[in-house]
């Protein structure tokens, strides 16, 4: 179909194909030749460069590596500067190229040798070998200047990037700083000293100035800050501080305190912890010269302008502000005459730093809430939320030095200086006693106000009042921001002559009840609730809070140090009324959209006063210093109306009950608690009614293994089981169920017996103090499953309070306190140590009243304890074994030690016990009561039984009545023949509880009943008319054989008609001491 190709055509195609292949082969060969040339060129270039680098490396090593020896005497001899100049240029080229590729150890060694050589050549005495020779060579001068500038940039990069991880890094840092110090200090150039003249000196100083400007333009101050912080982490600051300070203060002096340099100095150097103190302690000449040229004044003039400081500190973190404040204070303390002249600007400066710090804290808290970041703890400003870019120094010694800087602010000299600065009015300055000088400055200033009553208008407008309030505002801000130094500040201020008493008189002078009406009027007038008088009130409250924490009973009640008991009582009356009115005011406001509760939680005035009020009420509950009904509020005395408010969930009533429950009587609060519990029971019953057939609430408990069976049965039971009715059947020693139906009486006995065993010190979970109160044993962690046992015991105690079962158990106050969820209550457990560890109490009391130098006692924030025969050291604060106790912080030491002994070492036991207790008892219920009141909830009235109350609330059955002879004998026996312990046993025999009910016998349900018991073994049940009549008319029918019996479920005493009072007494005494459970007959 298609014609075949001819042979000629086929030969033609083959020929063309062969031509193409030959052409392609020639092309590939040409490419290979070109590639070979490039490869050969590259290899030759690499080999040549490598050979050159190796040559330069060997050359430079021969020149500089010998200068790495730490002993200068072993350094090689210097070569002529003219021959070395080229080598220096070669080094810079070689180092910059090799630094980009790798930072090897060999390169570091070469750099160290080069730096040491350069420094050595600067201080040599022969100009021929000096690095300075290039400056005097006209041909090399320009190149020499360029070389030095490039070299300084390299040194700055080295300082910025070296992390101080090895010893070579440390040597390089020290050598680099030494070089920068020498190259900018012509006084150290020995080769020029012999021929130094005025012209040459001016020239060299100008050269130094140009170098400093060049360094400053390349971030010298920022890099020096980085170096100092890294060295502080390695505790190397003392070895470099001289050179760093020299460079810093030379730059300031040569710039003639240029504003730009001062701001940069503030943003970099002043945020180095304790920098100013280190310079001052080392008597640094340039630092002293800088101070003489008014460094402090120049800085304060910048800082005292709020807008300027806000802009300056825009990128400074709160931690850096903390260190800046320390350095500024240290600078102020160096020359107090200069400070005296700059007093007011310095106060403005302090306010600006503190305000910005407060703003940083608020911003961090808000950001952390949005991003849910964690917080960390700083030893000066406490917990910091969110991320910070600030400097964190782990060196505890540095932190203590920062604290030492701050102490000047609350020193006696500075506080007096502040009060001296207060202006005195012409009328107030005139004294009838003549020009006699007042030695007590603080009292002198306050006396100007004491001569007349202080009206509301005067509080707002009077210059003297405003000045005093401004000082108190300053210290209030310090207390709020330097949270970890709070106790130190308050301790120091409390020791100031007459400060506390003067503040108290000032408050008293405002008006009746510390100016309650006047202060409330100011509060209502100010929408932001800020007025300087409130800062004064808060500072005084903080001082009182400190005193209430640290004063022991001897100092507060007998010596009445600082304030009399009458003053304490008056102030608590004011606090109680003021806090109550603040809550009412906020809940009555309708103009704001924010909830009253949230406004109060964010109100610093309210928080401070409320915390002190609760603290003083707690102190008063231990040992009273106020009259009866002192804490009650007249407006809420009508408990019925308040109860109705609670029943309809009135928010104000609920908040009052949560915050200041003591404004109601104890009995009213018990009734409220019972109401809450009843509502909770109803709620639980409604929720589980549909699941009741799946729930087990009946348990058999062997008397021979009471606690073990109870723990096994109930430990893992849900809260629903615990809150509902639990039925118990006891199994006796013979393995038989005891007679009796549990209608709560058997359960009461079960709870009492289980708790009696659980809290028995022999069980090793609890220990007894000297005053016979119980607390978790520190050695209980040796017991298997001890945390589960504590959790179970907490539930049992919670169940007892939940069911109003009183127990014969008395817990230590410092243990009970943790069941009450009151946050931030600065309560001191020092007095509790008297019965817990008398030796430690006596030792701490000795330290507290020691007049000498406490540091000579060599105490640290740690404690040694014997653990199974081995002494173990525990820190009571972080790194406490390395921190010495001084006179300034001995109160803090005593407080920390008390907390450790009463809480820290048994923290896990307290935590799990509290969790179990709160399974049944909600925190808001328990918070209504003080520690003694909570103990009363647990164990009832500790006093003897009120027989008159019992008589008036008795129900008689079966023929007995008030005038029946047996009843008269019964009361006579209880009153005259029985001891207090026997009366308690009698009450326990009938009601299963040895303590009277909290609200008296009227609240006992069922009521206490005495029933006539017939002699017949087959007695009738109930109170038939025939039986009652028969018992009433057969007076002479008596029974001398039977013992009294009881039904604790019904609080029922079955009392036979005995022949004589003697028989009644013997039978009753035998019955109540038999302890035969429900099988007594």
Structural tokens at position 599? 């406004």
Rounded-to-integer distance, Cα 24 and Cα 27, Å: 5
Structural tokens at position 197? 């003249």
- 322 catalytic? Reply is no
The conformational region for residue 785 under phi > 0 = left, psi -120 to 50 = alpha, else beta, is left
Rounded-to-integer distance, Cα 34 and Cα 30, Å: 6
Rounded-to-integer distance, Cα 465 and Cα 944, Å: 56
β-strand 382-385 against 375-378: which pairing, if any?
Answer: antiparallel
Long-range contacts, stretch 1022-1028, CB < 8 angstroms, 24+ apart: 1023/957, 1023/958, 1027/958, 1027/959, 1028/958, 1028/959
Rounded-to-integer distance, Cα 680 and Cα 345, Å: 61
Contact between 462 and 510 (Cβ < 8 Å): no
Name residue 862's beta-bridge partners.
Answer: 875
State how far Cα 20 lies from the chain centre.
89
State how far Cα 884 lies from the chain centre.
20
Burial degree of 278 (CB within 10 A; 0-12, 13-18, 19+)? buried
Rounded-to-integer distance, Cα 971 and Cα 922, Å: 41
User: Taking the chain, what is the end-to-end CA distance rounded to the nearest angstrom?
Assistant: 134
Backbone angles phi, psi at 698, to 5 degrees: -120, 130
Contact between 943 and 812 (Cβ < 8 Å): no
Q: Which of 275, 271, 266 is nearest to 244 (CA)?
A: 275
Contact between 871 and 864 (Cβ < 8 Å): yes
The conformational region for residue 868 under phi > 0 = left, psi -120 to 50 = alpha, else beta, is left
- Nearest 5°: the CA angle 236, 241, 246 is 155
Contact between 117 and 175 (Cβ < 8 Å): no
Contact between 794 and 744 (Cβ < 8 Å): no
Q: What is the DSSP string of 275-314?
A: HHHHHHHTT-HHHHHHHHTTHHHHHHHHHTSHHHHHHHTT
The conformational region for residue 568 under phi > 0 = left, psi -120 to 50 = alpha, else beta, is alpha
Name residue 1046's beta-bridge partners.
Answer: 1053
Q: How many CB atoms lie within 10 A of CB 896?
A: 20
Q: How many CB atoms lie within 10 A of CB 60?
A: 19
Structural tokens at position 760? 């028995």
Q: Identify the active-site residue in 231, 491, 514, 1049.
A: 1049
> Coil, helix or strand for 882?
helix
Residue 517 parent element (H or E): helix 512-525
Q: Which of 987, 983, 833 is nearest to 899 (CA)?
A: 833
Instruction: Identify the sign of the CA torsion 620, 621, 622, 623.
Output: positive
Q: Which of 981, 984, 956 is nearest to 968 (CA)?
A: 956
> Coil, helix or strand for 652?
helix
Contact between 635 and 627 (Cβ < 8 Å): no
β-strand 774-776 against 955-957: which pairing, if any?
Answer: unpaired
Rounded-to-integer distance, Cα 362 and Cα 259, Å: 30
Number of H helices, E strands in the chain: 50, 12
Active site residues per annotation: 1049
């Amino acid at each position: 179909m298609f014609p075949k190709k001819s042979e000629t055509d086929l030969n033609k195609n083959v020929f063309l194909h062969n031509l193409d292949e030959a052409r392609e082969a020639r092309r590939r060969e040409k490419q290979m030749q070109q590639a070979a040339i490039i490869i050969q060129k590259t290899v030759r270039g690499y080999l040549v460069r490598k050979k050159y680098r190796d040559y330069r490396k060997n050359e430079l090593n021969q020149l500089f590596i010998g200068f790495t020896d730490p002993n200068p005497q072993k350094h090689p001899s210097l070569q002529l500067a003219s021959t070395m100049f080229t080598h220096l240029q070669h080094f810079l080229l070689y180092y910059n190229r090799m630094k980009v590729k790798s930072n090897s150890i060999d390169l570091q060694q070469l750099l160290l040798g080069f730096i040491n050589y350069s420094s050595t050549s600067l201080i040599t005495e022969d100009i021929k070998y000096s690095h300075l020779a290039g400056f005097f060579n006209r041909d090399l001068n320009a190149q020499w200047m360029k070389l030095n500038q490039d070299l300084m940039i390299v040194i700055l990069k080295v300082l910025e990037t070296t992390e101080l991880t090895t010893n070579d890094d440390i040597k390089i840092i020290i050598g680099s700083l030494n070089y920068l110090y020498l190259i900018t200090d012509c006084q150290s150039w020995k080769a020029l000293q012999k021929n130094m003249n005025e012209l040459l000196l001016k020239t060299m100083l100008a050269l130094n100035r140009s170098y400093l400007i060049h360094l400053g333009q390349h971030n010298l101050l920022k890099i020096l800050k980085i170096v100092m912080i890294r060295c502080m982490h390695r505790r190397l600051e003392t070895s470099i501080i001289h050179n760093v300070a020299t460079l810093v203060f030379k730059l300031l002096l040569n710039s003639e305190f240029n504003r730009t340099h001062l701001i940069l100095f503030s943003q970099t150097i002043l945020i180095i912890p304790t920098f100013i103190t280190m310079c001052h302690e080392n008597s640094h000449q340039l630092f002293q010269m800088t101070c003489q040229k008014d460094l402090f004044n120049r800085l304060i003039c910048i800082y005292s302008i709020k807008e300027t400081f806000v802009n300056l500190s825009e990128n400074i973190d709160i931690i850096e502000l903390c260190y800046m404040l320390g350095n500024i204070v240290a600078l102020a303390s160096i020359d107090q005459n200069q400070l005296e002249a700059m007093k007011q600007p310095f106060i403005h400066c302090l306010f600006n730093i503190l305000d910005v710090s407060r703003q940083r804290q608020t911003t961090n808290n808000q950001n952390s809430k949005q991003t849910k970041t964690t917080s960390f703890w700083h030893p000066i400003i406490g917990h910091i939320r969110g991320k910070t870019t600030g400097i964190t120094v782990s060196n505890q010694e540095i932190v203590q030095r920062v604290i030492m800087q701050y102490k000047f602010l609350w020193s006696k000299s500075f506080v007096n200086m502040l009060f001296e600065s207060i202006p005195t009015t012409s009328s107030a300055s005139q004294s009838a006693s003549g020009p006699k000088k007042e030695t007590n400055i603080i009292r002198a200033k306050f006396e100007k106000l004491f001569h007349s009553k202080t009206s509301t208008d005067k509080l707002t407008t009077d210059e003297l009042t405003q000045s005093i309030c401004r000082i108190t505002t300053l210290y209030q801000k310090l207390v709020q921001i330097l949270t970890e130094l709070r106790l130190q500040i308050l301790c120091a201020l409390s020791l100031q002559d007459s400060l506390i008493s003067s503040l108290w008189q000032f408050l008293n002078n405002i008006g009746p009840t510390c100016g309650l009406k006047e202060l409330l009027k100011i509060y209502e007038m100010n929408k932001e609730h800020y007025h300087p008088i409130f800062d004064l009130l808060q500072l005084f409250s903080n001082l009182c809070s400190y005193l209430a924490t640290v004063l022991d009973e001897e100092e507060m009640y007998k010596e009445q140090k600082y304030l009399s008991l009458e003053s304490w009582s008056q102030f608590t009356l004011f606090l109680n009324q003021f806090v109550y009115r603040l809550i009412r005011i906020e809940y009555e406001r309708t103009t704001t959209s924010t909830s009253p509760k949230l406004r109060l939680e964010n109100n610093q005035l309210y928080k401070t006063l409320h915390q002190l009020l609760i603290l003083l009420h707690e102190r008063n509950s231990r040992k009273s210093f106020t009259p009866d009904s002192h804490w009650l509020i007249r407006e809420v005395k009508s408990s019925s109306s308040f109860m109705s408010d609670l029943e309809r969930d009135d928010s104000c009533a609920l908040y009052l009950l949560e915050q200041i429950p003591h404004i109601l009587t104890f009995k009213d609060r018990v009734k409220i608690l019972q109401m809450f519990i009843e509502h909770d029971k109803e709620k639980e019953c409604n929720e589980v009614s549909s699941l009741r057939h799946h729930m087990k609430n009946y348990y058999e408990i062997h008397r021979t293994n009471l606690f073990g069976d109870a723990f096994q049965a109930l430990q893992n039971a849900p809260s629903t089981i615990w809150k509902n009715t639990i039925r118990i059947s006891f199994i006796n020693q013979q393995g038989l169920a005891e007679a009796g139906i549990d209608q709560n009486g058997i359960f009461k006995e079960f709870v009492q017996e289980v708790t009696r065993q659980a809290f028995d010190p022999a069980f090793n979970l609890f220990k007894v103090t000297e005053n016979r109160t119980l607390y978790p044993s520190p050695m209980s962690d040796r017991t298997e499953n001890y945390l589960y046992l504590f959790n179970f015991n907490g539930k049992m105690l919670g169940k007892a309070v939940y069911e109003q079962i009183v127990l014969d158990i008395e817990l230590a106050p410092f243990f009970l306190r943790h069941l009450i969820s009151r946050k931030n209550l600065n309560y001191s457990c020092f007095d509790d140590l008297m019965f817990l560890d008398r030796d430690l109490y006596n030792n701490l009391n000795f330290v507290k009243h020691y007049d000498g130098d406490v540091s000579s006692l060599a105490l640290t924030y740690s404690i040694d304890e014997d653990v199974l025969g081995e002494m173990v050291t525990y820190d009571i604060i972080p790194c406490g074994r390395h921190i010495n106790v001084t006179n300034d912080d001995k109160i803090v030491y005593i407080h920390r030690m008390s907390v450790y002994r009463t809480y820290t070492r048994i923290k896990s036991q307290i935590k799990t016990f509290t969790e179990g207790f709160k399974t049944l008892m909600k925190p808001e219920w328990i918070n209504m009561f003080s520690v003694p009141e909570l103990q009363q909830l647990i164990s009832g009235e500790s006093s003897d039984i009120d027989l008159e109350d019992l008589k008036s609330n008795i129900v008689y059955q079966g023929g007995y009545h008030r005038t029946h002879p047996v009843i008269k004998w019964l009361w006579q026996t209880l009153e005259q023949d029985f001891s207090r312990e026997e009366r308690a046993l009698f009450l326990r025999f009938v009601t299963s509880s040895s303590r009277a009910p909290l609200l008296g016998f009227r609240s006992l349900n069922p009521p206490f009943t005495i029933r006539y018991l017939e002699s017949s073994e087959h007695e009738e049940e109930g109170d038939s008319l025939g039986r009652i009549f028969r018992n009433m008319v057969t007076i002479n029918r008596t029974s001398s054989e039977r013992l009294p019996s009881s039904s604790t479920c019904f609080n029922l005493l079955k009392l036979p008609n005995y022949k004589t009072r003697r028989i009644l007494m013997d039978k009753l005494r035998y019955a109540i001491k038999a302890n035969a459970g429900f099988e007594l007959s």
